[in-house]
Amino acid sequence: MTVAPAISLLASEHPGAREAVIELENRYGRVAPEKADVLVVLGGDGFMLHTLHEHAELDLPVFGMRLGEVGFLMNRYAPEDLPERISAARAVTLNPLRMVCETKAGERFEALAFNEVSLLRQINQAAHVRIVVNGRERLERLVADGVLVATAAGSTAYNLSAHGPILPLGTEAVVLTPISPFRPRRWQGAILPAKAEIELEVLQPKRRPVSATADYDEVRDVSRVWVSLDRKIGPRLLFDPEHSLEERILKEQFLIPDG
């Protein structure tokens, strides 16, 4: 006889989430995250990202069910047969990006990003950024609204809106994508090995201030940012076999715009 997992229910503020928690708790019970075998997340992708950041140190599998606006990282919501769905789910390991940044005042900050690290201009003037990969200068000066580094999981988020390429999950790579580039106008970014160490130097940081954001953690007035994949951290997202993240990424690449 298979023992049902101890489930911790984590819900967003989305309408219906509280009712869903009550129904699931009545069916399967509920424990604190520290005593759980699996985290069940109810909400959208934003709340999933918050949960991954909040509970990364627990190293528990995470099964999401959509009760929000965007649910790329979520399974469909259904209260029935939850332990069986968790048992049959496919696991996908998500390694985050680690951002280390230095401000023009000399302060240092670190943060993790499961989707992307993005640099954005703070005023009306374009950002000027020098790009170095593994210690070698690759772009002397990018003039743009900004630039981002995305994981495979994050390649369908902000990166896709910035016209960056989609990476199938499991690809040993990250995406470097300019945001509204002005010079060099034809540069569309690069796909880099997952082991790449990226340095983004803000040129003229006083005259052209730039902020750096790792998912939802923002640092203002940065002068230099280092980005690399952190393989020591890797939460496992669980997906129903018929709704795997790999399949969603493949479908996204074949979407044809209306008209």
In the chain, domain spans? 7-94+234-253, 97-229
Would residue 45 show up in a list of annotated catalytic residues for this protein?
yes
At residue 223, the pLDDT reads 98
Beta bridge partners of 116: 150
CATH code of 7-94+234-253, in short, is: 3.40.50.10330
Least confident of 15-24, 56-65, 69-78, 160-169: 69-78
pLDDT at residue 243 is higher than 70 = no
Confidence category of residue 5, pLDDT binned at 50, 70, 90: very high
In single-letter form, the type of residue at position 200 comes to: L
7-94+234-253 shares its CATH topology with 97-229: no
Q: Exactly one of 37, 45, 221, 230 is catalytic; which is it?
A: 45
125-143 pLDDT tens trace: 999 999 999 999 999 999 9
* For residue 42, pLDDT beyond 90: yes
| The pair of three-digit structure tokens given for residue 87, joined into one six-digit string | 């048992």
Looking at the chain, the whole-number percentage of residues with pLDDT higher than 70 is 92
Query: What pLDDT does residue 1 have?
Result: 44
Strands 7-11 and 38-43: parallel
Known binding-site positions for NAD(+)? 45-46, 50, 115-116, 145, 153, 156-161
Q: What is the mean pLDDT of residues 76-80?
A: 94
Q: Is 117 left (phi over 0), alpha (psi -120 to 50) or beta?
A: beta
Residue-level pLDDT at 256: 58
Mean pLDDT of the chain: 91
pLDDT at residue 27, rounded to an integer: 95
Return binding residues: 45-46, 50, 115-116, 145, 153, 156-161
Q: What does the pLDDT read at residue 247?
A: 66
pLDDT at 252 over 70: no
User: Is 257 a residue whose pLDDT tops 60?
Assistant: no
Contact partners, residue 221, CB within 8 Å, separation at least 6 = 103, 104, 105, 122, 205, 209, 210, 211
Strands (E), the chain: 7-11, 38-43, 62-66, 90-93, 97-103, 108-113, 116-121, 127-133, 136-150, 173-183, 190-193, 198-203, 210-214, 217-219, 222-229, 236-239
Of 57-71, 208-222, 241-255, highest mean pLDDT: 208-222
Question: Which of 12-16, 41-45, 107-111 shows the lowest per-residue confidence on average (mean pLDDT)?
Answer: 12-16
pLDDT at 259: 47
Both structure tokens of 218: 């923002």
HSE-up of 85 (CA within 13 Å, CB side)?
A: 22
Instruction: For domain 97-229, give its CATH number from 3.30.930.10, 2.40.50.140, 3.30.413.10, 2.60.200.30.
Output: 2.60.200.30
Confidence of residue 202 (pLDDT cuts 50, 70, 90): very high
pLDDT surpassing 70 at residue 245: no
pTM of the model: 0.85
Q: SS3 for 144?
A: strand
